[in-house]
Amino acid sequence: MTPRKRSVIAVALVAQTVAIGTTIGSFTLFVQPIAAEFEATRFQVSLGISFMTAMLGIGGVFIGPVLDRGRIRRVMLIGCSVQVASLLVASVANDLLILGALALVVGFAMPTLGPVTSSALVGKVFDEDRGRALGIVNMGAPLGGLVFALIAGVTLETWGWRGTYVLFAAIAASTTLPCVMWLVPAPADLLASVPTGGASAGESATGPRRAGELFRNPVFICSALPFGILIGCATGWSAHLAPYLDGLGGSTRMVALTVAVSMGMGMMGTLVFGVLVERFSPRSLLFSMLAITSIGFLVLSTQPSLGVAVPTVVLAGLCAGGFLPVFVSLLADRFGTASLGRTMGLSNAFILPFGFAVPPSLGAIYDSQGGYTLAFFLLIGLYAVAAIALSRLRAAPSGAREAGESA
């Protein structure tokens, strides 16, 4: 691997770590302190992560074409500046409505640093070993959850949630901004290095490039719908993970440690599945992750002891971490790398309904039922829908990695 490729992996990894870790990755630890200060319900506080996820989807749609033109450095610099400013303003907010508005703003900035931009950057530089590179880069999301959950587990008790957000902003400003300025290649260099291979059988090297063409493409629909469901469910579950474990009797530090370990296993899952996707069908791997996670949700729905719940949560984190590199490889194989930014960005449109609705729905179930049992069955039902959509890929044109599968 050349030094240029290593620097691209490094900046994409740092950007994802900070972008996800300071927001969605650690959000669950802020639910109870923010609810307590503003005397809000879990439904109301959960709307914050819904706003972030919804704007993540909208922002991805808009920045996709910009990324395909190679303007990745500019996009990332703007996104990092907005995220730092949002965290600082959140630290002095005196109204829940202000926090909600900031969730919208930071949610729109997240795709400029997170999986959409990082995956597009790597896809434009790598041809061979793309799955491994994506596996490493997409470790950033669970790594961010691990690192910032551990930090918040300490600072929430000493500095409170406001001081913790100030610290998060300082970390983002001192790490991501310099990395982006120094390590992201210029647009001309990126466009010159776009690989020509990687399109699936039956598609051109560039694949469908217009939004209308993609939204009419059954392969894209059957790939992007599970993407939206899985991201929405993972976001909703992660938002309520800490309150769920607290209800089982976990202490603040124990809950924070469990969240961090779960994110750490997600980091391992990203790397492991990034390697596996070089050997196995992305569709088969997605089926496996859906099945394992659904079984885990079924176990958690019984309100088990912490001795059972903690390892189950950790196993679910392993599967959740592996989803993104598998999905990106699926899109890259089907539609090629030249339009990967657009296909990734438009896939984010499928996050909107699920990312917005699932987190507050789980909170509403808790507020009305006093527990999360029905919430887990809702998640399992949505995973079943995702599995049905994936099964429809059998009727779609076979991709390079699925050439050996029956249609």
Assign residue 37 the CATH number of its domain. 1.20.1250.20
Assign 312 a pLDDT band (cuts: 50, 70, 90).
Answer: very high
pLDDT at 407: 31
Residues 6 or more apart whose CB falls under 8 angstroms from that of 240 comprise: 28, 31, 42, 46, 359, 362, 363, 366, 372, 375
Write out the two tokens for 168.
Answer: 């998060």
Instruction: Confirm whether 67 is domain-assigned.
Output: yes
In whole angstroms, what is the distance from residue 350 CA to residue 358 CA?
13
Q: Nearest to residue 317, comparing CAs of 236, 228, 224, 238?
A: 238
- Mean pLDDT for 94-105 is 94
Q: Tokens 């776009």: give the residue.
A: 194
Which of 90-104, 322-336, 381-395 shows the highest mean pLDDT?
90-104
Between CA 274 and CA 169 the distance in angstroms is 30
Question: Which domain does 54 fall in, by range?
Answer: 3-395
The whole-number average pLDDT for the span 331-345 is: 71
Give the Cα separation of 350 and 49 in Å (integer): 16
Q: Mean of the pLDDT values across residues 371-386? A: 95
How do residues 277-286 score in pLDDT, each as one tens digit?
A: 888 888 889 8
pLDDT for the residue 193: 53
Higher pLDDT, 123 or 9: 9
Choice among 96-110, 177-191, 214-228 with the minimum mean pLDDT: 177-191
Residue 146 is which amino acid? L
CA count, 13 A, side-chain hemisphere, 82: 19
Considering the chain, what is the average pLDDT of its residues?
A: 83
Q: Is residue 272 part of a domain?
A: yes
- Evaluate whether residue 402 is within a structural domain: no
Predicted confidence (pLDDT) at residue 226 exceeds the cutoff of 80: yes
Range scoring the smallest mean pLDDT among 11-25, 34-48, 65-79: 65-79
Instruction: Please list, in sequence order, all residues whose beta carbon lies within 8 angstroms of the beta carbon of residue 370, skipping any fewer than 6 positions away.
Output: none
What is the residue whose two structure tokens read 């300025």?
Answer: 181
Average pLDDT over residues 46-74: 81
Domain assignment present for 406: no
User: In total, how many domains does the chain have?
Assistant: 1
- Average pLDDT on 339-361 reads 82
Please, what's the largest Cα pairwise distance for the chain? Answer: 58
Of 52-56, 129-133, 168-172, 345-349, give the lowest mean pLDDT range. Answer: 129-133
C-alpha to C-alpha distance for 199 and 336, rounded to whole angstroms: 4
pLDDT value of residue 362: 94
pLDDT of residue 218: 83
Is the predicted pLDDT of residue 258 greater than 50, yes or no? yes
Comparing 260 with 396, the larger pLDDT belongs to: 260
Mean pLDDT of 322-331: 80
Residue 407 lies in a domain: no
- Residue 373 above 80 pLDDT? yes
User: What is the DSSP secondary-structure string of 374-403?
Assistant: HHHHHHHHHHHHHHHHHHGGGGSPP-STTT
How much of the chain, in percent, has pLDDT values that exceed 70?
Answer: 87
Contact 149, 26 (CB under 8 A): yes
Phi, psi of 193, deg, nearest 5: -100, 5
Residues 6 or more apart whose Cβ sits within 8 Å of residue 78: 109, 112
Confidence at residue 187, expressed as pLDDT on a 0 to 100 scale: 62
pLDDT of residue 197 exceeding 60, the answer is no
pLDDT at 92 (0 to 100):
96
Q: Does residue 338 form part of some domain?
A: yes
pLDDT at 189 over 90: no
Q: What are phi and psi of 199, to 5 degrees?
A: -75, 150
**Per-range mean pLDDT, top range of 87-96, 122-131, 232-241, 279-288:** 87-96
With 90 as the cut, is the pLDDT of residue 82 above it?
Answer: yes
127 in a structural domain:
yes
- What is the Cα–Cα distance from 58 to 66, expressed in whole angstroms? 14
Does any domain span residue 403? no
Rounded-to-integer distance, Cα 177 and Cα 154, Å? 25
Residue closest to 282 by CA, chosen among 234, 222, 229: 222
Identify whether the C-beta of residue 227 lies closer than 8 Å to the C-beta of residue 236: no
